[in-house]
């Protein structure tokens, strides 16, 4: 996994993304499709005590529209996190995503 930076949230926890890694799961059902496959990045949280939790695993490429390879993100004034991906989306050129903790 390649970390893409760390942001301290307003809740005191640290949030970040990785460019690769994670568990590959189906986009719509959340069920594992291939337990041995490597995902296309993660969104994670680390508490001030150092406890890490993977909040979301970006899926491996199922089709060109999949949102994959996160580049990092920021926290908005509404408390949600907003980020971009390097690839995926309708044209394969990346997407914008929102995560609400």
Residue 36 has pLDDT above 50, yes or no: no
Q: What is the mean pLDDT of residues 36-48?
A: 76
- What is the gyration radius of the CA atoms in the chain, in angstroms? 13
pLDDT at 7: 86
Q: By residue range, what is the domain housing residue 41?
A: 3-99
The pTM score is 0.71
pLDDT at 64 over 90: no
pLDDT tens for 67-98 read 566 777 889 999 998 888 776 667 767 778 88
Indicate the number of domains in the chain.
1
């Amino acid at each position: 996994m390649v970390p893409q930076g760390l942001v301290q949230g307003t809740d005191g926890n640290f949030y970040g993304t990785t460019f690769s890694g994670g568990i590959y799961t189906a986009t719509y059902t959340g069920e594992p499709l291939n337990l041995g496959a490597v995902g296309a990045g993660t969104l994670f949280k680390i508490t001030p005590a150092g406890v890490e939790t993977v909040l979301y695993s970006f899926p491996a490429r199922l089709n060109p529209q999949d949102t994959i390879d996160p580049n990092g993100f920021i926290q908005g004034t509404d408390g949600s996190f907003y980020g971009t991906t390097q690839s995926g989306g309708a044209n394969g050129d990346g997407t914008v995503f929102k995560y609400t903790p």
